[in-house]
Structure 1
């Protein structure tokens, strides 16, 4: 097991290629957003060459109690759970338990005979056609299988997911059964749509390993990496560190969030109804930085290997078909194109300069519905974790974009 102690600290930002004064602009921006009441608190952790360059917390963990935000504060990381689920599945890939071109029906027989959305009838009912084949594991890990989510009111299939209560299932097996009753958005491999696919990945981990999903994550990822506070619920000894979460109050400020994505906010003091591989984890900045550094190190941290370098390379290789990337589609939620793609549970910057992005080529990233985000930049040897307590909206999106700019404007010695 890895030592859970804090990661190594750089002697100074300058020692690892950053300008201290310019890096201070990041802290100033975060302080400004806290002071303006746009967020309750911020936690930002920047690493380079395996060392912590800057780790700053500002503001409050809970506005009602006035409790300050500490470095070990626990955040609902929502979809930042997805890359961890992908790593769990890749561990089993390396054991020869599945391949990228396997049909998912090998592990999810409930999904044999899927239908595909073909339009609406005169009464607004869904018209369907047969799927030409079952989605593959590669498509499941890249959101190109055709599944929906039920979180976005943008398409009849999304509304059908919501009507079927897919995310309100009592367990992962029931979730798969409810998914089977709703048609795919498109033929497998024909598009990209953010989906419930990662929850299905968690079920596949359970079925292949014979372990409960959370137990697999604990024994194969969290314990080895020293991620001592990451899990599907809090413990008695750390429950006081769970941060409150907020949303826009409609007047430029914050109000306590009571639900997210049409579901009650999980307080994480009780075991969840099911362990969501798509968005169910709670974590800390330091824990997630350890995970990110393992990926940056091509699968290992402090002498503990989770994946081989080739498995990490697979996760960071775009698998969205060129024909999909070549055509714009507003339903994708992100502007995927030939310069920006998606690998196995990570977004991938293929040609960042072409997009006006400041990070390095091959940067892996994603974010969470509670305002959290991260990126892993192999070209510049950087890991960044940003955590706030505001449900995803234009303000929280602006945090992500501004943080990247402010980090890289301080990088005086780019690349390795």
Structure 2
């Protein structure tokens, strides 16, 4: 493992020196023991503020697994059933309609909570130009505009507006990456009778000791928040200061719209605890968050053939199946990126990623704040897979 850590350091350091990334934090844990932490480059390139272990990162879509766990907690509590209609909690979803090319039709059945967990709801982020996707894009733009106002859109207001947008397909008929997790956050808020953020704090963050995770960064911690970067037209790294998906980039105000799909910030230390809780099937040390059966259900939910075909075609997901707001590697030989059978994972828009390996009892996290920073993650994973497969061959021989 010492050689693997040195290879990782070379990969990460090289990417920083070549200007491919501003800074990277990497943490690897095996059999419950930390093997290595690496921090290379800067959290703030302009002011030469180095990446540290307590650097705070915007998670973006790495928020989704947290939202999935919150939903499973409430299901265990009996606050809702996963097959319960979303409209039982959010009235705007009681009479969902579907866009059929040039007109709307009533949905064949209600959107269920499990549709939100599995992205089979028909809701979308708006990455194409169909009527539903244009409407979703407009709604997210309004959330972003509202961040400039004194009264921004709330989690429940967002869900109310989203419920009026026609679905891209009949509930359960296909798979589409979209705002399902954000709507799930609103369902959790209604079912828990408290804000989504309060529920996460009470049932996940505080019990696990995740002291630096939340929907904003308090003033006393703000100097630990990493800057975000994108590439300009000349391929140079420049600061990103926008508010993508309704998330305030500065994270300097308490969020009113608490996005279940993209809104959290965290440190590599905090998220490693969350990941290890999942790896240990719902518990961390003496703290139990979920029963093992609930974690198993999250990972083994699966899609039907039609849904899976849609998932396979989304950014090269072949070889993976979809669990509850995470992907699970079923066939490494078919996958575009390197991996080990059974790994489950998710990543975020600015390059944060986590990977759990149940068979090998390992957790790998890579944190960065750069759009299209996936090359570093791919290099790190290639090194891990190569060495783990080599160890297996050596043991067999």
Q: Same fold (TM over 0.5)?
A: yes
Alignment equivalent of 1:368, drawn from 338, 348, 353: 348
* Contact 1:23-1:410 at 8 Å conserved across structures: no
Alignment partner, residue 160 of structure 1: 135
Alignment partner, residue 77 of structure 1: 59
Matched, 1:410 2:390: no
Alignment partner, residue 291 of structure 2: 308
Deviations 1:320-360 (A, max 9, x none): 21232246774xx33345x3111111111122234365433
Deviations 1:45-80 (A, max 9, x none): 111111111110000110111111111100011110
Alignment equivalent of 1:382, drawn from 362, 373, 376: 362
Deviations 1:133-170 (A, max 9, x none): 111111110111100123x2454421121234476171
1:346-365 paired onto structure 2 within 5 Å: 346-355=326-335, 358-365=338-345
Instruction: Tell me the distance in 2 between the aligned counterparts of 1:319 and 1:304.
Output: 28
Alignment partner, residue 178 of structure 2: 195
Alignment partner, residue 11 of structure 1: none
Alignment CA distance shift 1:364-1:28 (3 Å): same
Q: Please, which moves more after superposition, 281-290 or 152-161?
A: 152-161
Instruction: Tell me the distance in 2 between the aligned counterparts of 1:328 and 1:281.
Output: 25
Alignment equivalent of 1:181, drawn from 143, 164, 176: 164
Deviations 1:10-48 (A, max 9, x none): xxxxxxxx3x22432221111111011111100011111
Give the root-mean-square deviation of aligned CA atoms: 2.1
Alignment CA distance shift 1:336-1:30 (3 Å): closer
Alignment equivalent of 2:270, drawn from 273, 279, 287: 287
Alignment partner, residue 3 of structure 1: none
Alignment CA distance shift 1:32-1:232 (3 Å): same
Q: Please, which moves more after superposition, 135-144 or 302-311?
A: 135-144
Alignment partner, residue 106 of structure 2: 130
- The structure carrying a bigger helix percent of its residues is 2
Matched, 1:39 2:16: no
* Contact 1:166-1:178 at 8 Å conserved across structures: no
Alignment CA distance shift 1:327-1:276 (3 Å): closer
Instruction: Tell me the distance in 2 between the aligned counterparts of 1:413 and 1:22.
Output: 12
Gaps of 5+ in 1: 1-17, 121-126
Instruction: Tell me the distance in 2 between the aligned counterparts of 1:236 and 1:326.
Output: 46
Alignment CA distance shift 1:264-1:175 (3 Å): closer
TM-score, normalised to structure 1's length?
A: 0.87
* Contact 1:75-1:243 at 8 Å conserved across structures: yes
1:2-401 paired onto structure 2 within 5 Å: 18=1, 20-120=2-102, 127-150=103-126, 152-153=127-128, 155-165=130-140, 168=143, 170-261=153-244, 265-326=248-309, 330=313, 333-337=314-318, 339-355=319-335, 358-391=338-371, 393=372, 396-401=373-378
Alignment CA distance shift 1:199-1:326 (3 Å): closer
Instruction: Tell me the distance in 2 between the aligned counterparts of 1:306 and 1:82.
Output: 16
Instruction: Tell me the distance in 2 between the aligned counterparts of 1:240 and 1:401.
Output: 29
Matched pairs, number: 385
The alpha carbon displacement at 1:319 in A equals: 2.5
SS of equivalent residue, structure 1 residue 366: strand
Runs of 4+, deviation exceeding 6 Å: none
